[in-house]
Chain A
Amino acid sequence: AQTVTQSQPEMSVQEAETVTLSCTYDTSESDYYLFWYKQPPSRQMILVIRQEAYKQQNATENRFSVNFQKAAKSFSLKISDSQLGDAAMYFCAYRSGQGDSGPYKYIFGTGTRLKVLA
């Protein structure tokens, strides 16, 4: 079975600085997707970034980028120029990419609480 591990329960970063959140996963599949979601206190999970396992290039979305190391099964999130609005719980998630038969469910890590200091 697949597992996702986030070993940092809490991280802090100064406003305008850069922070990296760690995620490791375990799978025997070769085709899958990885995601980072942000969950502010309002509880709404917001997609931050996605990475397809078959792509070697790391995904980037504005100030957010990932370091995807497939062999090491590592998927870290880098937030540049941190803003107060980035403060939230961040969850790493795995989804199998096994074609039409699924499974399509997400497997989540336990989350990292990010605090942004003014």
Chain B
Amino acid sequence: GAGVSQSPRYKVAKRGQDVALRCDPISGHVSLFWYQQALGQGPEFLTYFQNEAQLDKSGLPSDRFFAERPEGSVSTLKIQRTQQEDSAVYLCASSLALFPEQYFGPGTRLTVT
């Protein structure tokens, strides 16, 4: 694909529901990042993969957040038992190995009601 894609673009969940957000990185990009962007704020790091290995998950806010990238391409961010404070835009980015530029997807706006 031409760029990073994310689906769905919008997700509304009732409090307590589980959600799964998908990221398709640029073909050939081994590094994949997830960020959370609250309204009016800059993105904050959640987790990082190099191929299928999750090398850094220090930004995940709680054990309700889980990310995977089983085959080293598509990644899924799962949030269990969603809470209102989880409402945010979730951005995915990918990059070539060791290259500093990250290319971002359009994000998924999650609203928890």
Q: Which A residues have a C-beta under 8 Å from some C-beta of B?
A: 4, 33, 35, 37, 42-47, 50, 52, 91, 93, 95, 97, 100, 102-111
Q: Are B100 and A91 in contact (CB under 8 A)?
A: no
Q: Are B103 and A102 in contact (CB under 8 A)?
A: no
Tell whether B91 is near chain A: CB-to-CB under 8 Å: yes
Which of B48, B95, B106 sits near A43, CB closer than 8 Å?
B106
Q: Mark B41-52, 1 if CB is under 8 A from A, else 0.
A: 111110010000
Cβ–Cβ < 8 Å partners of B105 in chain A = 44
Q: List 14 A-B contacts (CB under 8 A).
A: A43-B91, A43-B107, A45-B91, A45-B104, A47-B102, A47-B103, A91-B42, A95-B100, A104-B33, A106-B33, A106-B102, A108-B44, A110-B40, A111-B40
Q: Are B103 and A33 in contact (CB under 8 A)?
A: no
What's the least CB distance linking B45 to chain A, in Å?
A: 4
Which residues between 28 and 48 of chain B lie within 8 Å of chain A, taking CB atoms? Answer: 31, 33, 35, 40-45, 48
Residue of A nearest to B42 (CB): A108
Cβ–Cβ < 8 Å partners of B59 in chain A = 105
